[in-house]
Structure 1
Amino acid sequence: MITAEFFLQGERFSGVSVRGHAGYAAYGHDVVCASVTSAVELVANGITEILKIPASVGAFENEVRIDLPDDLPVEAEQFLKALRLHLELLKQDYPENLRLTDTEV
C-alpha cells in the first residue's frame, strides 16, 4: 500500500511524504504506482522549477518527501492541495492500494 502523509501547520499544508508500494500489479505494470509517482513528480517540479520556491525535495529508497519553507508560500501550498485532491480521487478507484493521512506539525 502507498501511504501519502500530508503535513499541516494549522490549516495550511506544509509538506508531504509518500512511501510504500501500491501492490496493484507487477513491477512496471502497476498503474496506481505510476499515477502516484507522476503526480508527486509534477508537484515537486511545479514548486521548485516553475514557482522557483526553495522547497526541500528528497527521494529515498521507499519515500519521496516535499517540505515547504517555513514562510509557506500560498502558491506552493496550492500544489500540495491539488496533489491531495488528485490522490483522494485515485483512492476512490483503488482504496486497497492507497492511504491518505494528515499530520499536524
Structure 2
Amino acid sequence: MINICFKQSSSKILGFNIEGHAEYGEEGEDIVCSAVSALSYTIVNGITEVLKISVEHIIKDGFLQLSLRDNNLEEIEKCQVLLETMLLGFKSMEIGYGDYIKVQVEEV
C-alpha cells in the first residue's frame, strides 16, 4: 500500500511524505504506482523548476518527502495551488483504488 501524508498548519500545506508500493500490478505495470509517481514528480518539478523555489526533498525507491518548513511565507503561499491540486488528485485516486493508496492530512 502507498501511504501519503500531507503536513498542514493553519490551512497551509507545508509538505508531504509518500511511502510504499501499491502492489496493484507487477513491477513496471502497476498503474497506481505510476500515477502516484507521475503526479508527485510533476508537483516537485513544478515547485523547483517552474516556481524556482528551493525546497528540501528526498527521493528514494518507494519514498518521496518534501518539506517547506524552512521556506518563507511568500514561497509557501506560491506552492499552495500545486500542493492542493496534488492532494485533490491523490484523494480522487483513493476513491477508486482505496485498497492500494491511503491519503491523510496531519495538522502540525
SS at match of 1:100: strand
1:28-39 alignment runs, 5 A limit = 28-39=28-39
Identity between Structure 1 and Structure 2 (%): 26
Give distance in 2, aligned partners of 1:14 and 1:75. 12
* Residue 19 in structure 1 maps to residue 25 in structure 2: no
Structure 2 equivalent of residue 76 of structure 1: 79
Q: Which 5+ residue runs of structure 2 have no aligned equivalent?
A: none
Give distance in 1, aligned partners of 2:61 and 2:90. 21
The CA RMSD over aligned residues, in Å, is: 1.2
Give distance in 1, aligned partners of 2:62 and 2:91. 21
Q: Which 5+ residue runs of structure 1 have no aligned equivalent?
A: none
Structure 2 equivalent of residue 63 of structure 1: 63
Q: TM-score, normalised by structure 2?
A: 0.91
Give distance in 2, aligned partners of 1:103 and 1:89. 18
Deviation at 1:102, TM superposition (A): 1.1
Give structure 1 regions of 4+ aligned residues with deviation exceeding 3 angstroms: none
Among 88, 92, 95, the alignment partner of 2:91 is: 88
Q: TM-score, normalised by structure 1?
A: 0.93
Deviation at 1:57, TM superposition (A): 1.6
